[in-house]
Amino acid sequence: MFHARLFAETEKYRQTHFQASKATPTSPDPTPTEPGELFLDGNPAIDRPLFVQFCANDPRWLLEAARKVAPYCDAVDLNLGCPQGIARKGHYGSFLQEDQDLIFRLIRTLRDGLDVPVTAKIRILDTREATLAYARNVLDAGASILTVHGRRREQRATSPA
């Protein structure tokens, strides 16, 4: 999971965490328009299917980050399931589940701005009805695939799903 804002604005963060291409003599500074030689992440010979997952709380940063990976991947995923303290502090992951409008805008922005499919991972809510409404919101926003983690935000991996 990449932090969308950091990925969008920090070259070092991208180079450290996502290695889609490497420089060649004809392309010393790889970019999506002149990718250089395909490298580890995004190389269809060794890394397919490839979904790149982001955490985000701002549609603009999310789209900017996703556009940097879209030429190298098969889909972009929004992580709406992370329950960790860092996600609480940064207001992303499962800590967005109370803001269904923002979730809709995040996914719709990706769907409208990318040529690759958009997917999302969510956690279950307190009731079946609330979880189904949440899932419907994500799908209505434009997610092609929805992954549902079978635990609520406050549950850890040690409790049954």
* pLDDT tens digits, one per residue of 62-120: 999 999 999 999 999 999 999 999 999 999 999 999 999 999 999 999 999 999 999 99
Question: pTM of the prediction?
Answer: 0.89
Region for residue 42 given its phi and psi (left: phi exceeds 0; alpha: psi -120 to 50; beta: otherwise) = left
Q: What is the mean pLDDT of residues 122-143?
A: 98
pLDDT tens for residues 46-57?
Answer: 888 999 999 999
Q: Is the dihedral of CA 91, 12, 1, 111 positive or negative?
A: positive
Angle made by CA atoms 138, 60, 100, in degrees to the nearest 5: 30
CA–CA distance, 116 with 144 (Å, rounded to integer): 10
Looking at the DSSP assignment, which residues form a beta bridge with residue 52? 76
- Within 10 angstroms of residue 9's Cβ, the number of other Cβ atoms is 12
pLDDT surpassing 80 at residue 157: no
Q: Which of 55, 62, 66, 82 is catalytic?
A: 82
Instruction: Please state, in angstroms and rounded to a whole number, the distance separating the CA atoms of residues 94 and 74.
Output: 24
Structural domains of the chain, ranges and CATH numbers in brackets: 2-13+51-149 (3.20.20.70)
Give 9-25 pLDDT, tens digit per residue: 999 999 899 988 777 66
pLDDT at 32 over 70: no
Query: Which residue did the predictor score with more confidence, 45 or 4?
Result: 4
The verdict on whether 82 is a catalytic residue reads yes
